[in-house]
Structure 1
Amino acid sequence: MEQLNSPQGTFHFSRFPVRKKETLRAWDAADEYLLHHIHELSPETDTSILIINDQFGALSTALNEYSPSMQSDSWLAHQGTLFNLQQNNIPDNTVHLLTSLESPRQSPDIILIKIPKSLSMLEEQLYRIRPLLTSNTRIIAAGMAKHIHTSTLQLFEQLIGQTHTSLAVKKARLIFSEPNLSLAPPVSPYPIALQLENCGFNHTRFKLSNHGGVFSREKLDIGTRFFLQNLPETLDGSSIIDLGCGNGVVGLMAAERFPDADITFVDESFMAVDSARINFQRAFPDRNAIFKTTDCLAGIEKNSADLILNNPPFHQNNVVGDFIAQQMFRESKQVLKQGGELWVIGNRHLGYHVALKRLFGNCVTVTSNKKFVILKAIKR
């Protein structure tokens, strides 16, 4: 837990989920810059504020007197916001939480946007807020200067209106965009449609829909393609989980291979799970599946799965590491039935086999190429 001193007060924040020996803060200089700017604006307390992409709730907590809405694609961001509100003895209902697929109840007076890592995510978000704008709406975005590019500003110009930036402070910048209601931007391309090809399956009937925040939304990445070409040939049981499902393509192909299996799609991204839902229901209109937005396998019944298929992410926003993969492996062992299998694909250099063998007591290489390895661990 660290202390943020802002013009709105002193607050204590933790990154979420809370990890031992955490070395990173739950906010950055762009959050601080934005909070100072809002203080200078001195809006009335009845001003309606929409906050987009508040990663751990620092902005929402500091601006709690305005009862803001906080929109995020991350289930973890929602939980982190609730956690940090509680740490600061602020009621949970002070902040109205929205998924990236929901809109606030009214047109906001001020919209605050933390610039996301993905330009496509930002694009879909700007398309979604466009109908909410009035000529009086203030739009202020913030990010570290290294993450604000010409393409970032062009998106604001094309979809919102005249845009300019502030001077840099502590390597952070603000972006100011003035709504031009006479603009006629094109219809949103999201979710983007992608035809599935060259995966070793009878896949010609599969079209993949991808929201802006979904990994590999414009083409199938080579790691996933390799995984699809080497999925299990047999299934001892009937329960399959696509863990970290993204657009659901791995679970989709497993569903085709095992027509009697029960498939669960899990991801912490609301856009990912919705993309998986769209894709599964299009491919299998008469078949049911479970779609769950959560942290790794939180809320999934222990000893319930026969097979877990996993292509772990190796970053959380701009933070790179294997901490998410390690959590996925631990929770997979809990959720698998005795004799159940965890199949994992990863870059060869990540060394997942070491962690899997330590955790499961066994790990075999299914196949590999110059870049990727597919591993299998069995719960004994």
Structure 2
Amino acid sequence: MKTELSLLDRTLTLHRFPFRNNELLQAWDAGDEYLITHVEELALTSSKRILILNDSFGALSCWFSDRHEVFMMSDSYIAHKATLENLKRNSCTDVTLLNTMDEIPSNIDLVLMQIPRNNRHLVWILSKLRQSVDEKCPIISVNKAKEIHSSTLQLFEKYLGATKTSLAWKKHRLVFSTADCTPVQNVSDEVEWSVENENMTLVNLPNVYSGESLDQGARLLLDHLPSDDLRDFIDLGCGNGVLSVKLARLNPNASITCVDESFMAVESATRNLKQNLQTQREITYVANNCLDEFESDSASFIVCNPPFHQQKAITDHIAWQMFCDSKQVLKKGGKLLVIGNRHLGYDIKLARLFSHAQVKTVASDKKFVILQATKS
């Protein structure tokens, strides 16, 4: 796997986070290279204030921190950690890390953006840029050419302003925009909807997974959560906190820990537990990479609806880390409850960790299977 980005007579050593032996994926893509090459051709004077949005592992931040003041804004805790480690690895100047709920810094001279997968998140970002950035500030975005549809460009024009695209290069395309649309669109940060048959209303911030309706896996899992008077539980990959709300109601004495790598997910869970639980509870909210730095043998129960992608790459290594971390953090006799698509083979992975005898199927349908693994 290539770890050195060599471009324009300069080389950066870049790793994904978390670091894995035998990593198969790079920490940058052709879109990063396209942005870097284009901006360098602009021959900017030094000390510009550059806002970089959704820098997956810090490649752009490392490159431009050399001569400019960089603000890296992302909803991803992992992107923040990767950026910090790659800055240190390459002896780069520090950058200012922000999440996408933070205010956009004033007097930005240039905006660079990796276009997010989630259109709600994209619209939220575009509306914030329109309200915060001067129309003289260039805004340059990038994505795979096949992902830039006419509907994507219409969102840019509606919520940001005048937009045009570049020619494709290495299957990527640049999008050039100006913050000048009128009228200025006011976009709410929340979408709210009710969960059928659960007396539960959820608010969802723009980058929350399945933020406009309950995903099918969570719907099935809601009907199979334990009511065994749990003393504590961890909702690993908590999303909007829907599983935590139901588990808390079933186990009124349990302390609760909600963990996700998305800052917006953690904030959504915070709002939803406060809104849907009637009594004050012991609740901890953590933006984290799985269960990094959690105490071993400390949890009685963990529920997990694992993601199957990291940034734009489809991968199962996050689920594997979640399972490994869960085994480490569970007490003896503690249980991990997992849901996943049938074809992902989570039963095999869990059996490797917990042994076949300690893994059982709780429920399933045509698409999903719920598995329980017990730490012996």
TM-score with structure 1 setting the length: 0.94
Residues 246-296 of structure 1, C-alpha deviations (whole Å, 9 max, x = no match): 111001110111111111100000111111111111112633411100000
Is the contact between residue 203 and residue 271 of structure 2 (CA under 8 Å) also seen in structure 1?
yes
State the distance in 1 between where 2:11 and 2:366 align: 51
Residues 211-241 of structure 1, C-alpha deviations (whole Å, 9 max, x = no match): 1211111111111100001111314x41111
Alignment correspondent of 1:52: 53
Alignment correspondent of 2:191: 192
Residues 300-321 of structure 1, C-alpha deviations (whole Å, 9 max, x = no match): 2221111100111111122222
Residue 357 of structure 2 corresponds to residue 358 of structure 1: no
Alignment correspondent of 2:210: 216
Is the contact between residue 264 and residue 291 of structure 1 (CA under 8 Å) also seen in structure 2?
yes
Amino-acid identity (%): 45
Is the contact between residue 209 and residue 247 of structure 1 (CA under 8 Å) also seen in structure 2?
yes
Superposition map of 1:113-128 within 5 A: 113-128=113-128
Residue 373 of structure 1 is aligned with which of 369, 372, 376?
369
Is the contact between residue 112 and residue 141 of structure 2 (CA under 8 Å) also seen in structure 1?
yes
CA RMSD of aligned residues (A): 1.5
State the distance in 2 between where 1:304 and 1:21 align: 31
Is the contact between residue 8 and residue 62 of structure 1 (CA under 8 Å) also seen in structure 2?
no
Alignment correspondent of 1:266: 259
Is the contact between residue 263 and residue 290 of structure 1 (CA under 8 Å) also seen in structure 2?
yes
Residue 296 of structure 1 is aligned with which of 282, 290, 293?
290
Alignment correspondent of 2:331: 337
Count of matched residue positions in the alignment of Structure 1 and Structure 2: 371
Residues 28-81 of structure 1, C-alpha deviations (whole Å, 9 max, x = no match): 111111111111112221211000000010000000121200000110101111
Residues 149-169 of structure 1, C-alpha deviations (whole Å, 9 max, x = no match): 112111110111110000111
SS of equivalent to 1:129: helix
Residues 158-199 of structure 1, C-alpha deviations (whole Å, 9 max, x = no match): 111110000111111110111216x1233213211111113x
Residues 317-358 of structure 1, C-alpha deviations (whole Å, 9 max, x = no match): 222222111100000011111111100111112111111122
Is the contact between residue 3 and residue 13 of structure 2 (CA under 8 Å) also seen in structure 1?
yes
State the distance in 2 between where 1:327 and 1:17 align: 10
Alignment correspondent of 2:132: 132
Is the contact between residue 268 and residue 295 of structure 1 (CA under 8 Å) also seen in structure 2?
yes
Alignment correspondent of 2:299: 305
Is the contact between residue 46 and residue 66 of structure 1 (CA under 8 Å) also seen in structure 2?
yes
Structure 1 residue 106: Cα displacement: 1.8
Is the contact between residue 111 and residue 137 of structure 2 (CA under 8 Å) also seen in structure 1?
yes
State the distance in 1 between where 2:129 and 2:254 align: 39
Greater than 4 Å deviation, 4+ residue runs:
none
SS of equivalent to 1:282: helix
Superposition map of 1:249-288 within 5 A: 249-284=242-277, 286-288=280-282
One-letter identity of the residue aligned with 2:189: Y
One-letter identity of the residue aligned with 1:372: F
Alignment correspondent of 1:80: 82
Which ranges in structure 2 are unaligned for 5 or more consecutive residues? none
One-letter identity of the residue aligned with 1:62: W
Moved more, 137-146 or 48-57: 137-146
Q: In the superposition, relative to structure 1, how do residues 288 and 233 fare at CA in structure 2: closer, same or farther (>3 Å)?
A: closer
One-letter identity of the residue aligned with 1:300: F
Is the contact between residue 211 and residue 271 of structure 1 (CA under 8 Å) also seen in structure 2?
yes
